[in-house]
Amino acid sequence: MRAFFRRIIHAYNNLRLQTKLTITHLVIVTIPMVTIMVLFFTQIYDMIVSDTIRNEQEAAVQTAPLIEAKVSDILSAHRQLTELPFFERLLNPARTESLEELAGSKDAADFRLKMMHLENEGLIEDVHLYLDAPDYDSVFSRDSGYGVAEPLKLARRTYWHGIFAGVPTLNELFCPAFYLSTYEAENYGDVAYITKNRTIHDGEWISVYLAIYFSKEQLNTILNDNLTSSSSVAYIINDRDSMVATTDIALSGTYHFSYETVQDSVMSSNNFIMKNILGEDVYAGFNHIKNTNWYMVVAIPSRPLIIKSRIFMGVFVLIYLVCILAAFFIATMLSRSLTKRLSRVIEQMTRCRLGPPAALPDSNIRDEIGELVDSYNYMTQMIHNLMEKQAKAAEDMRITEFHSLQAQMNPHFLYNTMDMINWLSKQGRSQEVAMAIQKLSRFYKLTLSRKEPLSTIQDELEHVSIYVGLQNMRFDDTIDFIVDMPDELMEHAIPKLTFQPVVENSILHGIMEKEDKRGTIVLTGWQEDRAVVILISDDGVGIPPGKLQNILSEKNEINTDSGSPGTSIAVYNTHRRLQLMYGPEYGLKYSSTPGIGTEVEIRTP
């Protein structure tokens, strides 16, 4: 079997490019199509669901204020009526006039005219004032106040009256059609806002109900106009789980959410939630209607979304098949210039723009592309060899420059120290001569004992302390050297001879140029982010601004009257060594105030 496949592969590899391209493209265009259909079906469904939910959320956000505006208009109409003198006089417990007298007053006529005016504005269908007084009372007479009030017996058997009777503390109620009597719903309006008050009649308290009727069709229209998906349903429910308005009575019953569920969902999340109803996933969002006990519910069943995603997938597959056929035809026509292996060569050559070229697997096929692969691999090998030689040469140059810079440390200090030892010897101060020789020996032992370019901060501190001690022997202890270095930094590695050139510069060009030749040098350090910072400060004469700008330049010039012409280049070399080793963001940084002193910040990783 293996030999059989080997022969097939060999035969394919040696086919003409035209035939190879035809077979290859047939496989290439088929596999991605199947992969996309399998892998992205769920993602496409999620995209459709997310897009539908987002549209419904936006529509719900726009719809709720429209419904709230209708409610606000109803409340405004109620407020206009209750603020009229007639209504205020009606509820006044200190009223001395009878209901009959009040019903025949001008205020009652104005109240009736206001009721008629509100009924003609379009939103309000009807307004009624119900009094719990005997129906034979003249307050209900057409001759007294034009029938401004009606007996409560007309509403006693209604559900809304039962709610008020059952909850004595309730004083207002938004009533859906279910709460109203059939007569009210057919003649007045199928939704009402009713408030309860009390007044005195014949020495007894009686109930007063002001009912403002309007049509739920206005609410249904708002819901229908702002619903974006034909498969979804929007409805409004109150705290007694009664339906106030809906876009589809059948769907609202099927995808019904109880008032308690809606409240809990609103408190837990402001987004759509998913719930399984009768074995089907339903996405639902909720909005509270201000100034009412209503919630607007938007429910989106998942089944239409699945159908929509399948239709979208079918269209996608159809378009993809058309594109495949077009691409297949074009690829066949261009068979002389397109092959799979040629594409690999082009891809590898393109990657040369981003990095070194990579060799292709050796080709055992003797066609034009096989020869091209061999030539490309030979070229890649030559480039790699050249790059390796160039990298080695650059590294050798860097090491050579590093050692060259390190070797440029100024030997003038040795001359001055030996001259001091000679002078002490002539003075017969043998003990001080011995101490100076010991310090000088230790100084150069630390400098030259190891071939490695790195040392520790602890060794560098010992080295620079010996240097300051030798200078104090030379300058009669006029230099105070203070070190404040945290213990955790003592073993931190830094290039050798990092502190000494800076301290030498502070002594010779700072302190020794003062009139009294006395001063203090402070060396301290700390950790800062990913860097170690060493600060060396002195109270010398400082550096003029013109010289400060060029102090770390290769061409800088520092006054050499003090007898140490190498200090300038030593400071530059120290800065350059740190940058060569760690990068341009590290090295030395000078700041100085003439007449006050100089600070040098040394920054290493």
Tens digits of residue pLDDT in 475-501: 888 899 999 999 999 999 988 888 888
What per-residue string of b and e applies to 87-118 under the rule 16 or more CB within 10 Å gives b? Answer: bebbeeeebeeebeebbbbebbeebbebbeeb
246 within some domain: yes
Q: Is the pLDDT of residue 602 over 80?
A: yes
Q: What are the tens digits of pLDDT across the range 498-550?
A: 888 899 889 888 998 888 889 999 999 999 888 999 999 999 999 888 888 88
Name, of 376-390, 405-419, 519-533, the range with top average pLDDT. Answer: 519-533
Confidence grade of residue 349 (pLDDT, cut at 50, 70, 90): confident
Q: What is the mean pLDDT of residues 448-454?
A: 66
Higher pLDDT, residue 547 or 398: 547
Does residue 356 sit in the same domain as residue 312? no
Give the residue from 317, 338, 359 where a domain finishes.
Answer: 338
pLDDT, position 368:
66
Q: What is the mean pLDDT of residues 22-32?
A: 71
Does residue 279 sit in the same domain as residue 359? no
Does residue 285 sit in the same domain as residue 220? yes
Distances (CA, A) of 503 to 362, 458, 482, 519, 556: 62, 16, 12, 12, 18
291 within some domain: yes
pLDDT, position 554:
63
- Rounded Cα distance between 549 and 566, Å, is 19
Our count of domains for the chain comes to 3
Does residue 431 sit in the same domain as residue 385? no
Does residue 113 sit in the same domain as residue 234? yes
> How many CB atoms within 10 Å of residue 420?
19
pLDDT, position 192:
94
Average pLDDT, the chain: 80
Does residue 59 sit in the same domain as residue 156? yes
Q: Is the pLDDT of residue 125 over 80?
A: yes
Q: What are the tens digits of pLDDT across the range 51-71?
A: 777 777 777 788 889 999 999
The helix/strand/coil state of 94 is coil
10 within some domain: no
Name, of 168-172, 223-227, 327-331, 390-394, the range with top average pLDDT. Answer: 168-172
> How many CB atoms within 10 Å of residue 561?
11
Give the residue from 359, 376, 403 where a domain finishes.
Answer: 403
The helix/strand/coil state of 14 is coil
Give me the domain span that covers residue 549: 409-604
Higher pLDDT, residue 21 or 377: 377
Does residue 355 sit in the same domain as residue 482? no
Does residue 327 sit in the same domain as residue 451? no
Q: Which two tokens stand for residue 345?
A: 């060569």
- Rounded Cα distance between 356 and 380, Å, is 9
pLDDT, position 160:
93
44 within some domain: yes
1 within some domain: no
Higher pLDDT, residue 601 or 201: 601
pLDDT, position 555:
60
Look up residue 563 and give its DSSP letter: S
Q: Which two tokens stand for residue 570?
A: 């030593």
93 within some domain: yes
Give the residue from 288, 304, 338 where a domain finishes.
Answer: 338
Q: Which two tokens stand for residue 244?
A: 């106030």
222 within some domain: yes
Does residue 388 sit in the same domain as residue 442? no
Q: What are the tens digits of pLDDT across the range 89-124?
A: 989 988 888 888 888 888 888 998 998 898 887 789
Output the domain CATH number for residue 597: 3.30.565.10
What residues pair up with 173 in beta bridges, in sequence order? 194
Confidence grade of residue 560 (pLDDT, cut at 50, 70, 90): very low
- Rounded Cα distance between 374 and 287, Å, is 71
Does residue 436 sit in the same domain as residue 368? no
Instruction: Look up residue 305 and give its amino acid.
Output: L
303 within some domain: yes
Confidence grade of residue 334 (pLDDT, cut at 50, 70, 90): low
Does residue 497 sit in the same domain as residue 368? no
Does residue 318 sit in the same domain as residue 229? yes
pLDDT, position 559:
45
